[in-house]
Structures are given as C-alpha cells and as structure tokens.
Amino acid sequence: MKVFINKRIPEIGIHMLEEAGMEVFIPDHENLSHEEWLIHCQNHDAVLSVGGEFRYDRDFFEHCPDLKTIALYSVGFDHVDTKEASRRSIPVGNTPDVLSKATSDVAFLLMQSVARRASYNFQKVKDGNWGDFDPLHALGQELYGKTLGILGLGRIGFEMAKKSQKAFDMNIIYHNRHHNEEAENELGAAYVSFEELISQSDVLSIHANFTPEQKDLFNASVFEKMKPESIFINTARGGFQNEKDLYEALISKQIWGAGLDVTQPEPMSKESPLLELSNVCVLPHIGSATIEARTGMAKIAAENIIAFSRGEKIPYCINPEVYQ
C-alpha cells in the first residue's frame, strides 16, 4: 500500500507503517495548496490526514475514486463526510483516548488563566507595566465550590470534570445526548437540559463533537442567559462560538471571561478585538501538544492503516457501518 501523510508526524508512526511494508510519502513542504493535496491523495491508497484544513466531502471522494482508507491524526472528524465515506466502503479512523488528558489539561489551564487574568498580567510584565500595588485592579475570581458545566461529557470532558472536582471541589453538571453513568456515579455529575446548563454554570466548558448544525451555538441569545460571573471555555471546535457575539457579551459584562484553544477561523486574526480584553486567554489549538499525546496519536493512526492493509477492521473506526 502507498500511504500519503500531508505533514510530518512523530517518527514512530512512520516507522510502524514502513515496517508493515508500506510505501510512505510526506511532501517536502507542508503548506500544500488544495490542488497539490488532492493530487497526492489521488495517487495513494491511504491518507494519514494531519490537521483539518482539507475537507473529505463528496467532491473529494469523486476526485479520489481509488482511495481505500483514511486515518485521521485527530479525535475530531467534523471535516469528514462519514456517510459518503461509508457509501463508498471507505473506513475512516481517528485517535481517541490518547489525548484526553492532554486536552483536558488545556481546558483546566484556560479556566485558571481566565479566572486570574493570567495572560493579561503576564503581558503587563512583558511590557514593563507592572505598576504599583492596586487593591482593586484586574481582580480575578476563585473557583472553589463553583459549578462546572460541561457540554459533551465524554472522555475529555470526564478528565476535565475530575481535575476540577479534585482541585477546587467543583460541582459538576453536564448536557449530553446520553447520560454518562460513570460520571454520575464517580463524580456525582448531574444531567441537565441545555437551558439549565447555560443558566447554572459558573464555568461552562465545551468538549462535544462539532456538527454543522451546532455552528454558532453559543451566540448572543445564549450568552445573555449565562451568569454575569461565568467563564466560557472552548477546547473543542471554534465553530461552536460566534466570536462577535462573544466579544459583545464580554464587554457588556453578560459573562465574566473566556478561554479559547479553538477559534473561528483558525488561525485567529491578530486584529481580533478579543485579544485586547483582560478577561480573555487564547491559545493556538494546542490541546494535544504534548510529546506523549502526539506520539500516541501517531501510533493509533498507523495502527488504523496497518489493520486495514491486513484485511482487518480498523480498531478506531468512526463509521463502523462500513463493515455491516
């Protein structure tokens, strides 16, 4: 099998594929145009897809009729038309579990950074603007005993909830498509409606899979229903938030602060007014950016392709109906 990887990944993943007898191609430069990317995909049996800038939709599959499988170097798969892939008998794999702790670490980091205005105060130090002691300037807030609301209490959300409860004795509420009995039993998490989630959370953290129907889910009408002291955290997908409405909600004090590891679009413009606010912390989508997580992702992505090459079901398949 010939495998195309659009960006370099940890060497172990490449080594695993080559050890399994595959021909691996990685382009010399990573900023591929859409046309370059498409040509490479057309000339290979499998794609190990890094990043979400390219869409695997009906148009893609029509241009790549010989492609046999796709291994995503990610948990999220909102850039893949799974129904179309299944219709064409193309199994698609992702990399769950291995980055749950790392991504929840970033959500936990953002929560604390926003609560204590850490990035704003760090910038003051860098600018030489430390200033005299002011008892009332840029005060933060404490998280002890507050309510953490989670949209999408899966693996990552569970890790975030567990950290927050152990560190700050936070109460956990959540909204899911289904009940999470493990979280309810272990953490005392309470299932609530979406309306209850947004009105009761002191910190609201998004960990759900994104779908087009959820675009701009967090908009002006939602922000105005949240607590004025609440903190909005998103480490899932930038499409969940309307950033114009988020800015307005922050400056009008409808909510207290926001921490984002994902933006809309990515990368965020350096001119974004959100970056001027003292109660906002933005990171450049680093949820899985640890040696351990990225290495684990490389292994799992390689395992998905290797299993396919051996005629086996890929172990981390997001469209299992392809095997029915």
Catalytic residues: 237, 266, 285
| Separation CA 177–CA 316 (nearest Å) | 21
Query: Which segments of the chain are extended strands (E)?
Result: 2-5, 23-25, 46-49, 69-72, 92-93, 147-151, 171-175, 190-191, 203-206, 231-234, 257-260, 280-282
Close Cβ partners of 34 (under 8 Å, ≥ 6 residues apart): 54
Q: Which residues pair with 171 in a beta bridge?
A: 147
Q: Which residues pair with 257 in a beta bridge?
A: 231
| DSSP letter string, 96-132 | -STTHHHHHHHHHHHHHHHHTTHHHHHHHHHTT---S
| Separation CA 307–CA 92 (nearest Å) | 12
Q: Tell which residue, 67, 78, 73, has the closest CA to residue 6.
A: 73
Total residue count of the chain as it appears in this document: 324
Assess contact for 44 and 67: CB atoms under 8 A: yes
Assess contact for 147 and 173: CB atoms under 8 A: yes
